[in-house]
Amino acid sequence: MTVTAPQGFRSAGIAVGLKSTGKPDLALVVNDGPQRASAVVFTTNRAQANPILWSRKSAQGGPAHAIVLNSGGANCFTGDFGYETTRLTAEAVASAIGSDDAERILVCSTGLIGTGDQVFREKIVGNVPALAAALAADDTSAAAAILTTDSVEKTAVHAGEGWTIGAIAKGAGMLAPGLATMLVVITTDALLDSDALDSALRGATSLSFDRLDSDGCMSTNDQVTLLASGASGVTPDEAVFAAALAEVCDSLAGQLQADAEGSSHDIDIEVRGAASAADAVEVGRSVARNNLFKAAIFGNDPNWGRVLAAIGTTEAAFDPYSVDVSFNGVRLCHAGAPDRPVDECDLTPRRTHVAIELFAGEHSATIRTNDLTHEYVHENSAYSS
């Protein structure tokens, strides 16, 4: 179990024909309470899909009762018809689960942008009753129903003292912050109000999903949702809950990184000795988005010069001629000059660690990214054909 590991939740995932593969493509997670609370973080892309527009409005009106998610179509840039499809989906779910307010139903979609017709609508709305009938407290199918180009399901569970957190996620491409490209549903049976959930969720996402930058591309459909049922009757210390939630989000971010489209290296860029946390993030992100660096890692080439060139484009406070750079534990650059021979560094393992020491302060941050491969280019060159 994942999102149904906490008490007070049921979920389901079924195939309705949105995907040509016949795999599950419509999911539903219902919060049965007894005391519902929720928090949501959305993409900061100005171009937003119809489900995001709906869910933003819904989230302002009170705690969510349920969230319905489809893969196989983003329902983005589909005009008034697409927004109406989202509204009808929420209304169908509300009716099927006995909710008296469709605006308490969050909606998420993922897939190709610009597609969505009457057939798409009918496959979703018409199959909501069957989806609701499949709801179960021991369900394991919802995690598969939200996947697109993902090769594996992404889940996490944390057991607290009398309370639990469960989560599912999707994401393999367009992974960049604000929010990192994904759909995530997190559930907990802890007894917490929406304000406490919002604070914990924003703190957790800022240290995990917002530091995942696989390809620098931000989606139109990103949404991370946290639902609380209060079914455990336990109110954890808010700091303890926030730490546990951060752990769950960090696990999911790592799983997203490991499944990034076409990648052959998972790269952790650790920036140390920064004047501020913001500087550390800016420096790490400048490397994560540098195609020359990413291509070098694909070729198992520890080209530390590309790291220095990348970080030199930032406005962070540091002296480029005092920086150290290490690849997989081998310091190749010291004080802005060559140190150890590059042939001492082995970049053949998938897991790659790059350490950048700025000597400008006491702050640090790690940005997750991936290399740039032939497979990534091929997969995305034929995505819509």
**Backbone phi, then psi, for 272, in 5-degree steps?**
-120, 160
Lowest mean pLDDT among 8-17, 140-149, 176-185, 327-336: 176-185
Radius of gyration of the chain (CA): 22
- Among the residue ranges 175-184, 218-227, 228-237, the one predicted with the least confidence is 175-184
Residues in a beta bridge with 9: 31
CB 59 within 8 A of CB 103: no
Which residues does the annotation mark as catalytic?
Answer: 181
According to the model, what pLDDT value does residue 261 have? Answer: 84
The yes-or-no verdict on residue 264 having pLDDT over 90 is yes
Report pLDDT for 180. Answer: 45
- Give the CB-side neighbour count of residue 318, counting CA atoms within 13 A: 32
The sign of the CA dihedral 187, 190, 192, 197 is negative
In the chain, what are the domains? 9-258 (3.60.70.12), 266-381 (3.10.20.340)
Question: What pTM did the predictor assign?
Answer: 0.93
Considering the chain, what is the average pLDDT of its residues? Answer: 94
List, in sequence order, the alpha helices (H) in the chain. Answer: 50-59, 79-97, 118-125, 128-133, 142-145, 194-207, 238-258, 277-288, 291-298, 304-311, 374-381
Assign 381 a pLDDT band (cuts: 50, 70, 90): confident
Distance (Å, rounded) from C-alpha 90 to C-alpha 86? 6
